[in-house]
Chain A
Amino acid sequence: GAVVSQHPSRVICKSGTSVKIECRSLDFQATTMFWYRQFPKQSLMLMATSNEGSKATYEQGVEKDKFLINHASLTLSTLTVTSAHPEDSSFYICSATPGQGYYGYTFGSGTRLTVV
């Protein structure tokens, strides 16, 4: 089955530093990847949609300069939280789909970011 690997699973960083989260599709080419943020006991909130080779599409209210998304290949998308602050602490999940036909949306296992 389709597998998406997300790394790291947990990261603690200091305020003001940047953190990069990777999302890889291991056995399929992901034309499109999605990045979500989830607060405790809440649903997933879509942050942005990234298509390979083009700029990400950000949802309203999401700062593109704060959350940099790169989708340089069909198997890798990265989310960089720049100049992180404690309010950026959250659970970030990526999801990937091949795009054509229905193979489902495969989710990464998530990254717990804590900014201290």
Chain B
Amino acid sequence: EDKVVQSPLSLVVHEGDTVTLNCSYEVTNFRSLLWYKQEKKAPTFLFMLTSSGIEKKSGRLSSILDKKELSSILNITATQTGDSAIYLCAAPQRAGGTSYGKLTFGQGTILTVHP
């Protein structure tokens, strides 16, 4: 059974701090790893990682995959109160052909950024 584990489960920082969120996975027929941010409602997509060592960047957020270590990190620099959310890491199960099956989510990291 596929498994995704995130750490830490919660993190409290002050504005301006840099944070690193971790995600490790055990997935049969690995295809990609996804990062999401969830505030009050639906998760919003952040990154999809498929290749090891290639950093994906979006503003103050960046993420990288390490296939050797079966892990990924999500970095947030110069945190702001608006970054407070649950950050979810997920791995899609490979379905038939090029189809994507269900997502296996990690437990999530609750990030709280204080002013």
Contact = CB atoms under 8 A, between A and B. Distances in A.
Q: Which of B32, B92, B103 has the most CB of A within 10 A?
A: B103
Nearest to A49: B102
A99 B48 CA distance: 16
B95 A99 contact: yes
Contacts of B86: 41, 43
Interface residues of A, number: 24
Contact of B100 (A45, A105, A109): A105
B99 A100 contact: yes
Nearest to B50: A102
Contacts of B110: 41
Contact of B48 (A6, A31, A95, A104): A104
B101 interface: yes
Contacts of B102: 34, 46, 49
Interface in B93-115: 95, 97-108, 110
Interface stretch (B14-22, B39-47, B60-68, B69-77): B39-47
Contacts of A46: 102-105
Contact of A44 (B32, B45, B88, B97): B88
Interface string A26-52: 000001101000000111111001000
A107 interface: yes
B22 to A, nearest CB: 15
A87 B41 CA distance: 20
A6 to B, nearest CB: 8
